[in-house]
Structures are given as structure tokens and as C-alpha cells.
Structure 1
Amino acid sequence: MRRIPLSDFAKEHGHTKAAQMLGCTQGALSKAIRVGRDVVVTCNEDGSLSALEQRPFPSQKTAA
């Protein structure tokens, strides 16, 4: 199993191919990278891929 940041995965495969591999659009992938979302792609030994985003909890600040 190999874990790689989304931006590095996109550089390695190209944005269009990386988006296809993850099942999203190239625009969604590019925007996630541009806004700095903390997404890590896991490449499993069987060739399957998964991507997870780590976010703080709670993810939105509440109004005081």
C-alpha cells in the first residue's frame, strides 16, 4: 500500500488521467488541489485506489 498526496498523484499521472482513475472530473481534482484540500490517495497492492480527505472536526466554526 502506498499513500501519496493528491497533488503528487496528479503530477505523476497528469490531471486528466488522475481524475479518471479516481472517478471525478479534471475540474474537481484541479480545484481540490488549488484550494489546498488535504486529500491523500491510497494505491493498494491489487491496483485499486481510494482517496480520503482529512478535515478538522467540527469542520465549520460556529457563530458565537
Structure 2
Amino acid sequence: MRRIPLTEFAKEHGHTKAAQMLGCTQGALSKAIRVGRDVFVTVEEDGTLSAQEQRPFPSQRSVA
């Protein structure tokens, strides 16, 4: 098992391919990186992928 930050995963595979691999759009992936979301991609031994966002608990939403 390998766990890497989303930014590194996107650099390694390119934003478009990384988004396809994770089942999201390139725009969603780019926005997550741009706004600094704390997302990690886990690559299992069999090649399956999953992505998790690490957030504090309890999470405080910012009120704008």
C-alpha cells in the first residue's frame, strides 16, 4: 500500500488522467488542489485506488 498526497499523484499522472483514475472531473481535481484540500490517494498492492480527505473533527465550516 502506498499513500501519497493528491498533488503528487496529479503531478505523476497528469491532472486529466489522475481525475479519470479517481472517478472525478479534471476541474474537481484541480479545484481540490487549488484550494488546498488535504486529500491523500491510496494505491493498493493490486492497483486499486481510493482517495480520502483528512479533516479535523469536529469540522468548523467557515461562514462568509
Give the match for residue 33 of structure 2: 33
Unaligned runs of 5+ in 1: none
**AA matched with 2:35:** V
Task: Give, in whole Å, the separation in 1 of the partners of 2:35 and 2:58.
Answer: 19
Task: Give, in whole Å, the separation in 2 of the partners of 1:25 and 1:58.
Answer: 28
Q: TM-score when scaled to structure 2?
A: 0.92
Task: Give, in whole Å, the separation in 2 of the partners of 1:20 and 1:54.
Answer: 21
Larger radius of gyration: 1
Give the match for residue 5 of structure 2: 5
Q: How many residues align?
A: 63
Which consecutive segments of 4 or more residues in structure 1 shift more than 3 A? none
Task: Give, in whole Å, the separation in 2 of the partners of 1:53 and 1:8.
Answer: 15
1:54 paired with 2:29, answer no
Task: Give, in whole Å, the separation in 2 of the partners of 1:32 and 1:59.
Answer: 17
Task: Give, in whole Å, the separation in 2 of the partners of 1:59 and 1:30.
Answer: 23
Unaligned runs of 5+ in 2: none
Q: Report % sequence identity.
A: 87
